[in-house]
Amino acid sequence: MTKERITREIVQTMDQKDSLSHFKSEFYTQDDHYYMDGNSLGLLSKRAEAAVLTSLQDWKEQGIDGWTEGKEPWFYMSEKIGEMTAPLIGAEPEEVINTGSITANLHQLLATFYKPEGNRTKILADSLNFPSDIYALQSQIEQKGLKHEEQLIQVESKDGYTLKEDNIIAQMDERTAVLLLPSVLYRSGQLLDMKRLTEEAHKRGIIVGFDLAHSIGAIPHQLHEWNVDFAVWCTYKYLNSGPGGVGGLFVHEKHLGQKPGLAGWFSSKKEKQFDMEHTLTHSETASAFQMGTPHILSSAPLVGSLEMFNEAGIETIRSKSLQMTRLLMNLIHQELSDFGFQIMNPLEDERRGGHVSLVHPEAASICKALKSEGVTPDYRSPNVIRLAPIALYSSFEDVYEMIGILKKLMTEEKHKQFKNERGIIA
């Protein structure tokens, strides 16, 4: 932690030097409100709004012809968004498609790549992953006529917040068919060493997949270079596609041309799709892993949002994100050391995602108090406050102000007015 005392003047100087500061005016933000929950739902941008309005206008003016004749033709939108996403994850354009949700895409890719044979029947995961991924893994094992209690191995955490790569590697063996891990752990914000884990798994003949929900749009990846077999993600967090925004998937080019495990109409080659044949001629790109008709109105926001990401550059976004989370941690150390908070995310830049994980026994009531004071944090049961300043629409002074608000409410014990229990959605 820095020994220099952080002042408002220091953070204002940081804002003056920020090459991304102009993007904030492109988002719908509220005056005197500090939004620190972009790791759960990103804010609406004017470009995302315009992209949705374009698709509505195409529908309004073109009707069914909007599929091919609209200003932004719907028939090719998923592929266009995939191509726009590829630079953010270090992928080739044909390796990426905008489709489905994390869980639907995970089912698709497990149905494609999880092929238990002989002694190689197990899936290796972790004990800290988001529940929906675990449900999907259990379901796919059962679909193969096996018992998930026997075939799903979950690497345990020593502290309940982080994982050690060495412990994950130690669990890899000749019985493991698939490894599935989050790139960033959702509670603690720990960034796993995806390159090393992929290399070690491949040495043992294991297919490797990652859930990028808490890293895509915040952290650069090199999925193609690292030889990752597949990945899935949502787009409503750092990519700012809006609630329920359509997800995405990556399949390494070495697997392209493989028949999808779950086939559907949009798995087809574009030029064959409307032949209406009952024998699928599937795409030779990641498009093959689509199933049903694309959800246009929840894909369209990405056309506008991703323009900004490609203008800003993911390396620049990552640099600012690290500066903001470092500032946030330093301010917590400087201002909140008397209030029982504990930082649970890794402190090292190379091991930290885009949010800070702050643990406190009264986390739920503190989050409620923060909301009443104009701050939107994120709570995760049982005791985690997640704070995510976002590179495209948060300023360094926003971080400074937010910590000031948190210190004041703790000093005045305003959180005692609220029950220390989560709401329906936490």
pLDDT, one tens digit per residue, over 158-184 is 999 999 999 999 999 999 999 999 999
The helix-helix angle for 8-16 and 396-411 (nearest 10°) equals: 160
266 is in an annotated binding site: no
Determine the Cα–Cα distance for residues 9 and 5; give it in Å rounded to an integer.
11
Q: Pairing relation of β-strands 342-343 and 152-155?
A: unpaired
Class of domain 49-311: alpha beta
- Sketch the domain layout of the chain as residue ranges: 8-31+313-415, 49-311
Answer yes or no: is 293 a known binding residue.
yes
- To the question of whether residue 372 is assigned a binding role by annotation, the answer is no
281 annotated to a ligand binding site: no
**Is 3.90.1150.10 the CATH classification of the domain at 8-31+313-415?**
yes
Residue ranges of the chain with per-residue pLDDT less than 50: 1
The number of angstroms, rounded, from the C-alpha of 42 to the middle of its chain's C-alpha atoms is 11
Would you say 183 is a known binding-site residue? no
For residue 4, the model assigns a pLDDT of: 87
> Per the annotation, does 220 bind a ligand?
no
Annotated binding-site residue? 236: yes
Paired residues of 250 in beta bridges: 96, 231
Summarised one tens digit per residue, pLDDT across range 341-366 is 999 999 999 999 999 999 999 999 99
What is the C-alpha to C-alpha distance for residues 408 and 370, in angstroms, rounded to an integer?
10
State yes or no: 102 annotated in a binding site: yes
Residue 303 near residue 80 (C-beta atoms within 8 A) = yes
Predicted confidence at residue 2, as pLDDT, reads: 52
49-311 matches 8-31+313-415 in CATH topology: no
Global pTM?
0.96
Residue 45 assigned to a binding site: no
- Compute the residue count for the chain: 426
